[in-house]
Structure 1
Amino acid sequence: MPVYVYSILLPTHPQRLDGLDGVGDPPAALRTVHSEKLSAVVSDAPEELRPKRRDLGAHQAVQEALMADGTVLPLQFGLTATDDEAVRAVLEDRADEFGERLRALEDCVEYHLKASQDEDALLRQILRESDEARELNEAIRSGSGSPELPLALGELVSQEVQARQGRLAAGVIDALRGFAREERSSQATGNDFLNVSFLVTRDNEKSFLSEQQGLAEELGEEFDLRLLGPLPAYSFV
């Protein structure tokens, strides 16, 4: 029967599963699959698995409960295998790789940071600080310029936004980098200019959070820094 795989752990992890529910309706019972060097927490996989709130919540609850007891490799939602033997075979074949990642994640949690800037405030800043943009804007408003000016201003503003937000993102990451063991950046979407995950040791959590709060205060109200965590270290598996 297909099995759903939640996490990979060392055999020394307590692997306390009592009181936890797996995915599915009704919830599947959790169990462990063991190899010589590793274990995996699994359950029977429902026939039609979709990212419903109930199942996403069950997946996350298992990760958080296991993380509270020790280091885990938290797998992304939806990972399945054909049966327990297939899971055991992967644990055996990739024992060294998984063991190395478990050591890298020891005593660590993930913090995920996104950031955006108020668009109107950014545009005012560009018009205030860029002579070229300000002159183009004034010519457009006066009605004395050519029809190509709005396009030229739009292209200039787009370039300025990209350059300024790129510098901002690099500055934020650089300020927090010293408090993290690893970092992973992803493509920012929507109005965000920053989308990055940090792997932070438990010993550095307070310092990391203090530095992030200081950055938010320094940047001011026109910036929106959204920090999620502590999380299972999905981005670093």
Structure 2
Amino acid sequence: MAVYVYAITAATHPLRLDDLTGVGDPPAQLRTVQGGILSAVVSDAPEGLRAKRRDVGAHQAVQERLMADGTVLPLRFGLLAPDDDAVRAVLEENAERYTERLAALDGCAEYHLKAAQDEDALLRQILQESPEARRLNDDIRAGHNNPDLPLALGELVANEVQARQEALAAAVVEALRPLARDERASQTAGNDFLNVSFLVDRRREDRFTATEKNLAAELGEDFDWRLRGPLPPYSFV
């Protein structure tokens, strides 16, 4: 029977799982598979598994419990293996690499930061600070019939938006980088100009979150900041 794999830990991890259950309906019982110096937390895999709220919650609960007791390599939702023997073989074959990752993540949590800027506020800022944008906008509002004016203004504004947001994202990351052990940038979506995960030593969490709050306060109410954490370090496995 296929098995669902939640996480990898050192074999010395406490693995306190007695009061937790896994994915599926009814919920699967959790167990561990040991391969040399490593262990994996697994359960029987239900058929037709989908990312339903209950199953995602069960997956996260296992990760959070393991993380509370020690270092863990948290695996993404939905990872399956053919059987326990296949899991054991992977642990043994990749023992050196997994052990190195556990050492790199030791004592750390992930913080995920997304940020967006109000579009109207950004446009006002560009019109105030760019003489060329202001001139084009004034000509359009004055009723000039040149059909190239809206296109020229649109291209100028688009370039300004990209340049300003790239510079701002770089400045935010630069300010937080000294407080993190590692970082991973991801593709932005929607109005976001920033989508980045930081690997933060638990002893520096307070400084990290305080610095993020100070940045948000400094930039003002035109920005939407979304910081999630502490999380299992999915982005750094």
- Secondary structure of the structure 2 residue equivalent to 1:7: strand
Q: Distance in 2 between matches of 1:145 and 1:198?
A: 50
Q: Map of 1:121-160 to 2, 5 A cutoff?
A: 121-160=121-160
Contact kept, 8 Å, 1:139 with 1:145, in 2: the verdict is no
Q: Distance in 2 between matches of 1:144 and 1:108?
A: 59
Structure 2, unpaired ranges of 5+? none
Q: Distance in 1 between matches of 2:221 and 2:172?
A: 16
Q: Distance in 1 between matches of 2:116 and 2:145?
A: 33
Matched, 1:56 2:61: no
Instruction: Render the CA deviation track for 1:16-72: whole Å, top value 9, x for unaligned.
Output: 111111000000000000011110000000011100011000000000011000000
Q: Distance in 1 between matches of 2:92 and 2:206?
A: 37
Deviates more, 1:147-156 or 1:189-198: 147-156
Q: Distance in 1 between matches of 2:12 and 2:219?
A: 44
Q: Distance in 2 between matches of 1:126 and 1:202?
A: 40
- Secondary structure of the structure 1 residue equivalent to 2:90: helix
Structure 1, unpaired ranges of 5+? none
Structure 1 vs Structure 2: percent identity of aligned residues? 70
TM-score by length of 1: 0.99
Instruction: Render the CA deviation track for 1:102-142: whole Å, top value 9, x for unaligned.
Output: 00000000000000000000000000000111111011111
The number of aligned residues is 237
Q: Distance in 2 between matches of 1:191 and 1:54?
A: 30
In the TM superposition, structure 1's runs of 4+ consecutive aligned residues that sit over 3 Å from their partners are none
What is the alpha-carbon root mean square deviation over aligned residues?
0.6
Q: Map of 1:78-93 to 2, 5 A cutoff?
A: 78-93=78-93
- Give how far 1:149 is off: 0.9
Q: Distance in 1 between matches of 2:158 and 2:20?
A: 49
- Give how far 1:144 is off: 1.5
Q: Map of 1:1-237 to 2, 5 A cutoff?
A: 1-237=1-237
TM-score by length of 2: 0.99
